[in-house]
Amino acid sequence: MTPLAVTRFAPSPTGSVHLGNARTAFFSYLWARKSGGRFILRIEDTDVERSELRFRDELLAELHWLGLDWDEGPDIGGPSAPYAQSERHGLYAELYARLEAQGVVYPCYCTPEELDLSRKLQRMAGRPPRYAGTCRSLSLAERHAHEARGRRPSLRFAVPCAGEVEFIDFVHGAQRFHMSDIGDFIVRREDGTASFFFCNAVDDAVMGVTHVLRGDDHLTNTPRQLMVLDALKLPRPGYGHVGLLVGADGAPLSKRHGSTSVQEFRQRGFLGAALLNHLFRLGHTGDVDGWLAPAEFPAHFRPEHLGKAPARFEESQLVHWQKETLGRMSVAEIGAWLDIEAGAPFAELVRHNVVLPRDAAPWIAVIKGELPPLGEDERRIIAAAGPGFFTAAAAALDEAGTDSKRLTKLLAERTGRKGADLYMPLRLALTGQTHGPELAPLLKLIGAETARRRFEFHAQNS
């Protein structure tokens, strides 16, 4: 059995959950569930500009919709409360004081404009754009001078100019970074709020997180966070960086690839279980190929099979899981999902002919609306059957009603047609399409009156 894992998902409430984030959340959740550990939800809302309360509520709702739940979080509390970083200032203040006492951080009075310029200059000179160290060795007098001018400092971590940071990434293996490649980074912003490098790492450590699962884009950030943790003598969690989720063209998943957020897929009618089944196999291989019910996922999750290569998200693959999921739903569930008042017989009728709720629209038209004009091929089939066929069909309908078995039997006897020659013109006259659900229930729903009208139309017009 996997050792007890405490994992977390730490989104910032700045919009709907991105598919890539949903995936790392799912994997983290699975790891905790599989090992019997805990899954923590923490809200990283230190960016006051972009964080919004409504996003936070939406986020929780989306996660629940997907089928995830957590053991500690802003809505249910827990031993490490509070779970929103905007409410954890007390802890951070204490830790900043410790860092200051150790002399591993220093106030930086550079303005964003100055920093921007410095970076540009370095770039032009063909050098990596790193903090130049301007404020690293300011005298007390110089600091006072800055303060006197009303400048509020940010707090920077003084990265040693020599040395290495090493860690074992549980998906990439051993990693080593030179400190000389890392510039002094900000741990506290000018407005007093905590920066990502600081609070993200610190909270993981303090909350007892043992396995941090995140996107590849954080791999080179990890040494910075490790330096903060080491300076504070806080325990290092294990880190694992999974390959990013990319679009069909291999570029990072973005708007131009279509839907990218959980919310968008939900609104289009994709099912949570379908999304989960797809995500489960993106950058990860479980020990089964087939569809899994949400409750079955943890048992089949294999953390050692998390992938390092970027995984392409293709909607056609999601469609497969959507069909699988649909196939396992009850008629009542399908009906609710379709969200139309056509009733159970209709849900039963179209369940194998729809992927998304909007696919049901043409069948609603078939049952209670007008048929679209026929295409070239369709007209040929109608013509081949001839007006007599439809006259006979109308007559048979009058005798058999919407009992399609009787109707086709009568029609077969009277026209000598059978098989496709019999059914195709019927289907076409009734639905206007060559494909679709079974004819018998279809006829029942269409009703004798409409069916008669459609037969008569072709009796006169073909």
Partner RNA sequence: GCUCCCUUCGUCUAGAGGCCUAGGACACGGCCCUCUCAAGGCUGUAACACGAGUUCGAAUCUCGUAGGGAGCGCCA
Instruction: List the interface residues with RNA, window 369-408 (CB under 7 A).
Output: none
Residue 62 in contact with RNA, rule: CB under 7 A: no
* DSSP state string for 136-181: TT--HHHHHHHHHTTPPPEEEE---SS-EEEEEETTTEEEEEEGGG
Instruction: List the interface residues with RNA, window 350-369 (CB under 7 A).
Output: 352-353
Stretch that binds RNA, among 104-112, 340-348, 366-374, 447-455 (CB under 7 A): 104-112
138/424 with CB nearer RNA: 424
Closest-CA residue to 95 (of 83, 104, 84): 104
36/123 with CB nearer RNA: 123
Residue 368, phi then psi, degrees to nearest 5: -135, 20
Stretch that binds RNA, among 245-253, 360-368, 370-378, 449-457 (CB under 7 A): 245-253
Q: How far is the CB of 207 from RNA (least distance, A)?
A: 15
Q: Are 445 and 346 spatial neighbours (Cβ–Cβ below 8 Å)? A: yes
Question: What DSSP element (H or E) covers 461?
Answer: helix 448-461
Instruction: List the interface residues with RNA, window 286-325 (CB under 7 A).
Output: 289, 305, 307-312, 314, 316-317, 320, 323
Q: Which of 2, 285, 391, 450 binds RNA (CB under 7 A)?
A: 285
293 sits in the region (left: phi over 0; alpha: psi -120 to 50; else beta) called beta
Q: Pattern of binders to RNA over 106-125, x per CB under 7 A?
A: --xxxxx--x---x---x--
Residue 127 in contact with RNA, rule: CB under 7 A: yes
Residue 252 in contact with RNA, rule: CB under 7 A: yes
Q: How far is the CB of 103 from RNA (least distance, A)?
A: 20
Instruction: List the interface residues with RNA, window 10-49 (CB under 7 A).
Output: 10-12, 14, 44, 46-47
| DSSP code for 86 | G
Q: Which residue matches tokens 């995830």?
A: 68
Cα–Cα dist 331/69, whole Å: 27
Cα–Cα dist 392/411, whole Å: 7
Instruction: List the interface residues with RNA, window 137-156 (CB under 7 A).
Output: 153-154
Q: How far is the CB of 392 from RNA (least distance, A)?
A: 17
Cα 398–chain centre separation? 53
Residue 234, phi then psi, degrees to nearest 5: -95, 150
